[in-house]
Amino acid sequence: MSKVYLTGAGPGDIELLTLKAFKVIKEADVIIYDRLANPEILEITKDGCEFVYVGKEDGRHIMPQDDINEVIYQNSLKHKIVVRLKGGDPFVFGRGGEEAIYLEKRGIEFDIIPGITSAISVPAYAGIPVTHRGISVSFRVVTGHESPNKKISQIPWNNFKTDDTIIFLMGLHNLAHISKKLIEIGKSCDYPIAVISKGTTPQQKVVVGTLENIVERTKDTPTPALIVVGKVVELREQLKWFEN
């Protein structure tokens, strides 16, 4: 009987891989993977392990999701231990749910191995706690990928009026739109925002600014990158441990 492990690879720093993920990657007969923040993970595998790349570049899918689902399924018919490796956590904007449903419908066994999501760990490596007593009592992880031309936005912009933390994933190309929307709902032009790229890796780059100047400051920022909005960004001054 074969089994598919929908596995989180963590945000980049290889030591942020869970022990459970490490174990299945070592035993895998095939690894089906995306563009990974840390390709060194693939070196953990045993001799003879096969590799199938189904990644995306800058948000553009090289392979449509339906085809990826089918690739995973076909591999489960050929191999005993199939690891579907995804950046961060498989259920945080990872489409892991869709892949699991596809397998469930076909009677294929699967496990979900959660990963450390970039949404929390990347701010942590930049010295930004997503909650902080007296500053932010909650955080939201929001897609930054929604088209600005969409007639009715699914994003609840009007709920973002408090100082609670907002983390946008996949949002760098929409940064101008995101800043504009946040100013429209009443945030001040000098409200704190940070953009963190290649977080948790030696190439990590953090740009801090305001809703007004962040686009200008992040012109050459490489991906993957995420956006943190909130007063917690100011704590970085004291807490930026990783770069120090």
170 catalytically annotated = yes
Please pick, among 34, 89, 164, 187, the residue that the annotation labels catalytic: 34
Q: Nearest approach, Cβ of 34 to ligand SAH (angstroms)? A: 8
What does the per-residue mask of binding to ligand SAH show for 150-179, with x meaning CB under 6 A? -------------------xx---------
- Would you count residue 118 as binding ligand SAH (CB under 6 A)? yes
- Would you count residue 117 as binding ligand SAH (CB under 6 A)? yes
Q: Within a 10 A sphere around the Cβ of 200, how many other Cβ atoms?
A: 24
C-alpha 37/C-alpha 85 separation (Å) is 11
- Would you count residue 87 as binding ligand SAH (CB under 6 A)? yes
C-alpha 177/C-alpha 150 separation (Å) is 12
Cα–Cα distances in Å, from 13 out to 18, 24, 40, 122, 203? Answer: 11, 18, 10, 10, 11
Please pick, among 13, 164, 170, 187, the residue that the annotation labels catalytic: 170
- Would you count residue 196 as binding ligand SAH (CB under 6 A)? yes
Please, which residue, 23 or 35, has the CB nearer to ligand SAH?
35
Q: Which of 88, 123, 127, 230 binds ligand SAH (CB under 6 A)?
A: 88
1 catalytically annotated = no
Query: What DSSP line would sit under 100-161, residue for residue?
Result: HHHHHHTT-EEEEE----HHHHHHHHTT--S-BTTTBS-EEEEES-S-TT-SS-SS-GGGG-
Q: Is the separation of the CB atoms in 7 and 25 below 8 Å?
A: yes
Angle made by CA atoms 65, 76, 30, in degrees to the nearest 5? 85
Q: Which range in 44-52, 104-112, 115-123, 230-238 contacts ligand SAH by CB under 6 A?
A: 115-123
- Would you count residue 94 as binding ligand SAH (CB under 6 A)? yes
Closest residue to bound ligand SAH by CB: 88
DSSP code for 191: -
C-alpha 175/C-alpha 171 separation (Å) is 6
56 catalytically annotated = yes
- Would you count residue 12 as binding ligand SAH (CB under 6 A)? yes
- Would you count residue 45 as binding ligand SAH (CB under 6 A)? no
Instruction: State both tokens at 192.
Output: 């704190």
* Residue in 81, 138, 139 with CA at minimum distance from that of residue 113: 81
Q: Which of 16, 69, 75, 93 binds ligand SAH (CB under 6 A)?
A: 93
Hey, which residues are catalytic here? 34, 56, 170
Binding site for ligand SAH (CB under 6 A): 11-12, 37, 86-89, 92-94, 117-119, 122, 169-170, 196-200, 224-226
